[in-house]
Amino acid sequence: MPTERPDPRPPAGHHRSGRRQWAVLGAVAVGLALLLVLALTVVLPHADRNGGSMSTPDATPTPTRVIATRRTAAEAFPGGLAVQPTSVNHPARSESAARTRGDVATANALSVIADQPIATWLTGAGSNADTVRTVRAVLESAQTHQATPTFVLYAVPDRDCGGYSKGGLGTAAYGHWVRHVADAMRGSHAVVLVEPDSLAQISNCPRIGTSRIPVIRQAVHTLVDAGLTVYLDGGNEDRVPVDTMARRLREAGVDEAQGFSTNVSNFYRVDQERAYADRLADRIGGDPHFVIDVSRNGRGWLGTWCNPPGAGLGQTPHVTAGSTRLDALLWVKTPGLSDGTCNGGPAAGQWWQQYALDLVEHRKRG
């Protein structure tokens, strides 16, 4: 009797059952795939591709920031602050003239200003060769005293947006001028403050809204590339919201620089400005340092930025011990130079001796 072998054909209905099983498995697989796609769509946008956290699902990842290593205060201002040579020192020249005519009281009062380190402003007036000569004279004097000179660039295109200090250079001429300045300072320990008001003024001067920041950014890059210690202008505590100023400073190249300056040519007290500067530094990120102009803030804010009556000299300028982000308290504005034709003053930048004497009379003591 032959051995019985299983029928190789599937039983009736087998094909239909198999198809149903595969259909179920396929549906499950499709469902799992859809769940995976949904999870990736929801989760991944919340994580930066560089590993950082992002605040909103549709936020755009930003490239990794490259931030300069900030110098200590002592490294930023080796030897302390340099006093200007007489050739660029308005108070010293006026003091000398007073002594020559025998006016000892006036000379002694003006010496209170002239004997202090004051920043040298470069305004683009005259030729590039004139600017270079000024730079070299200040550098040579500073080198003699083994101290650090501070310069202020103040020639940005459309400077002061038609205000009292209107002027500046054209865009191409400005870039060329900055390169001359940087080359003249290359190899020195000079500190450069870049364009007071330039970023804060964007808020009330729409026509510079798109052109100003690229110009400042290129100037900062040129100066840093020459090995100089650079501070951008950060306005003051009562002018532009911190978030707005932090964004502008980042866009203008503060990550390349030592940091920013505040209160330039203004009158706010140190404690106010320091609190503002710390908030601004925190918002910028990367631990930028800052300097504060204390040249005329001895009486604090007096209701106007333009030649306020009763203003007084601030505390003596000096480099800090370097335990915080505050590098120095500086006399950036030359005490005695007018802010403009307001409150009886001459044109902006002109010497106004009576105002200088009033600043001495009302100075902060101690």
Q: Is 45 helix (H, G, I), strand (E, B) or coil?
A: helix
DSSP 66-99: --PPPPPHHHHSTTSBPPPPGGG-HHHHHHHHHH
Of residues 186, 114, 195, the one with CA closest to residue 161: 195
Catalytic residue (one of 197, 233, 327, 358):
197
Integer Cα distance of 260 and 264 in angstroms: 11
Contact of 288 with 281, CB cutoff 8 Å: yes
The Cα-based distances of 192 to 76, 209, 282 in angstroms read 11, 24, 22
Integer Cα distance of 216 and 192 in angstroms: 13
Catalytic residue (one of 160, 233, 293, 327):
160
Of residues 185, 193, 192, the one with CA closest to residue 132: 185
Catalytic residue (one of 233, 327, 339, 358):
339
Judge whether 197 counts as a catalytic residue.
Answer: yes
Catalytic residues: 160, 197, 339
